[in-house]
Amino acid sequence: MKAIDLYSGIGGWTLGFKMAGIEVVASYEWWKDANYTHNKNFGTDHTEKNIRELDLVKDLPNPDEIDFVVGSPPCTQFSFANRGGNGDIADGIIDVYKFLEVVDYIKPKYWAMENVPRVAGILEREILKGGSLDRFSHLFDSQFRVIKTYNSADYGVPQSRKRMIAGCFPFELFDSYQEVTPSRTLRDVVEGLMNNPLKDPVYGHEIENLTDNIGESPLSWEEERINKDSKTHHPVYNRMSFPDSLDRPSRTVTALCTRVSRESIIIETEPKHYRRLTVRERGCIQTFPSDYQYYSNSYGGKLKMIGNAVPPLLTYYIANSMLETPISELKEARSKGEIVNNFKNLPRIIKPENKGSNFTWSRSFWLAIPYLRLGSGVRFELRNKANKEIEKVFWRVNFFYGNSKSIKELSLDKELFLELWEALEIIEIAGLVSVVESTISYVQKLDIEDLQENWTNRDRTKTSPISVVDRLGEFARIILNLMEQSPKSNIRHLKSIIDHGFFEANKKLIENSNVIVTGLLIGSIFNTIIKGEELSLEPLLQSLEK
């Protein structure tokens, strides 16, 4: 039985099918590093090919000789990780169209396409009459032709990686394999790569020479704080654990992540010491064998090619379902002998990213202010914004509310502060005037340029933006405590301000009016002073006394 692999990457489909005994006679990939990695591991000599320019007659094998067509068109434009899900869907569909065009030309016995879950809905919509893929609707009109989302962890992959599988093959048989596939965890990989003698944590064969397992330095306190906040207090997306649990499948290994990325998988190696995964650990989580080699001239390139791949163990079970292997005859996947172990030509050793890097002058920052985090799209945050025309960075506190589908922003400025002050009759809340004055005094003493000097590693003795966030959070905590101790009539007054005041408030904002009012006060104070405008309570207090 023979197959072709479209958008083949580093070989996730190819390896899975080879382990099942299927010959992959042709693979097509445009990215040089991924294609070279594919060739080195399988001993092939495929040249880079832009599949969008593929000539069906000239570039493809004889259709009569091909039984299966598989592949993974690029998912970048479809991923919610790309600009919050605002990628160029039309551009992404070009690759899906080309994949289906090849399937329609080859007319294989079975075919399968893998992509991110979002593509399931896009496919279902676009194959309808009038859709951009309606020409291929006939490819989805039989009992075997299905569009379905799966979790790779259900097939022995030590990773919770949800993927859409569309195609024509025995899906029910593929589904049944879940009954006999083992469950694996992140711990199986991390600790499995420490065993002596070393055995592959997924496939079980002994490893002679373990490469790409250089650990990164532990996260700095700053990196730890940002990672933890972005995972456990993210205002829009679901909360994640920090550190990641070793006793369940890992989260999805992504192609792009940094040391302060929400997507990074962070583990605790010893108490209060946290690090990211090594290249080898990521590869094993994706179920590439421990002796699979990754060829790239950059550390980020290796991470990208692994994160973009489809897990070979998942494709192994798809291949078996295409071979119509009964569950009773299903064998455990074994990779030994399926790849070329050329230890004379190992990839270049590239040290991982570590703390202490020098960043560009425009390095971005955002962090939600403690005690002012409500989740579900509601947050007060300190953020910077670089104006590259004049090469200057500006800082401000932003207030966002709504939800992930409709985020709204209220400008926090001097006008808002004055209106809020008048509406609150704030002197009725004992002790609040003193805290507001302290907040004003603190912000007035800040040298705003120091924040970027610190954040870009140019001068760590300067004020850290994280320390500013925490100090603003401390002022917020004190104000909230004072509000809780004030008469209930004042609390009702706060709710009426939010309900009928400065913006279109929803039930959640009204119920948390003390938090919202506190954030509006602190944010408008910070932005007014940082903008260079004068702000003092004294004339306001005098006018109230009159």
Which has the closest alpha carbon to 1: 331, 401, 319? 319
Indicate the range of 76-80, 172-176, 285-289, 419-423 predicted with least confidence. 76-80
Domains of the chain, by residue range, sit at 2-182+296-327, 366-545
Q: What percent of the chain has pLDDT over 90?
A: 64
Can you give the pLDDT at residue 83? Answer: 43
**pLDDT, greater one: 538 or 35:** 35
Q: Report how far residue 374's alpha carbon sits from residue 514's, in angstroms, rounded to the nearest whole number.
A: 12
Average pLDDT, the chain: 88
- Residue 148's Cβ-count burial label (10 Å; 0-12, 13-18, 19+) is middle
Q: What is the pLDDT of residues 65-105, one digit of tens each?
A: 999 999 999 866 555 444 444 557 788 899 999 999 999 99
Selecting among 75, 168, 257, 284, the annotated active-site residue is: 75
**Averaged pLDDT for residues 95-118:** 95
Greatest mean pLDDT range, 150-154, 260-264, 356-360, 410-414: 150-154
What is the mean predicted confidence (pLDDT) over 425-450?
Answer: 89
Q: Cα(466)–Cα(451) distance, rounded to whole angstroms?
A: 9
Angle (CA) 122 9 348, round 5° = 145
Question: pLDDT tens digits, residue range 509-531?
Answer: 888 888 999 999 999 999 999 99
Which residue, chain included where needed, has tokens 């101790």? Answer: 485
Q: Per-residue pLDDT for 354 more than 70?
A: no
CA distance 10 to 14: 9
Residue range 257-285, pLDDT digits in tens? 778 788 889 999 888 889 999 999 999 99
- Measured CA to CA in angstroms, residue 448 lies from 200, 458, 530 at distances of 52, 15, 7
Bigger pLDDT: 144 or 360? 360
* Euclidean distance between CA atoms 492 and 504, whole angstroms: 18
Give the fold, CATH level 3, of 2-182+296-327. Rossmann fold (3.40.50)
Pull the structure tokens for residue 374.
């409500």
Q: Is 44 exposed, middle or buried (0-12, 13-18, 19+ CB in 10 A)?
A: middle
Question: How high is the pLDDT of residue 513?
Answer: 87
361 in Cβ contact with 456 (< 8 Å)? yes
Taking residues 413-424, report their average pLDDT: 86
Tokens of 291: 């002796």
- Tell me what the mean pLDDT of segment 359-382 comes to: 87
Check whether 369 has a pLDDT greater than 90: yes
> What pLDDT is attached to residue 344?
65
Query: Is the pLDDT at 450 greater than 50, yes or no?
Result: yes
Q: Where are the beta strands (DSSP E) in 116-264?
A: 145-151, 162-168
**pLDDT surpassing 90 at residue 453:** yes
pLDDT at 423: 78
Comparing 86 with 419, the larger pLDDT belongs to 419
pLDDT digits (tens, 9 = 90+) for 6-23: 999 999 999 999 999 999
Q: Give pLDDT, residue 371.
A: 93
pLDDT tens per residue across span 297-346? 899 999 999 999 999 999 999 999 999 999 999 999 998 888 886 666 77
pLDDT for the residue 85 = 46
Please give the pLDDT value at position 343: 60
Cα angle 422, 426, 432; round to 5: 145
| Tens digit of each residue's pLDDT (9 = 90 or more) over 123-140 | 999 999 999 999 999 998
The whole-number average pLDDT for the span 185-214 is 92
Q: What is the DSSP letter of 248?
A: S
Nearest to 442 by CA among 411, 416, 478, 481: 478
Residue 182 has pLDDT above 90, yes or no: yes
* pLDDT higher than threshold 90 for residue 370: yes
**Residue found under tokens 């202490």:** 356
Residue 75 is a catalytic residue: yes
Q: Supply the DSSP symbol for 238.
A: P
Instruction: Between 184 and 234, name the one with better pLDDT.
Output: 184
Give the chain's end-to-end CA distance (angstroms, integer).
92
Single-letter amino acid, residue 17: F
Under a CB-based contact definition with an 8 Å cutoff, are residues 400 and 519 in contact?
no
What is the pLDDT at residue 546? 45
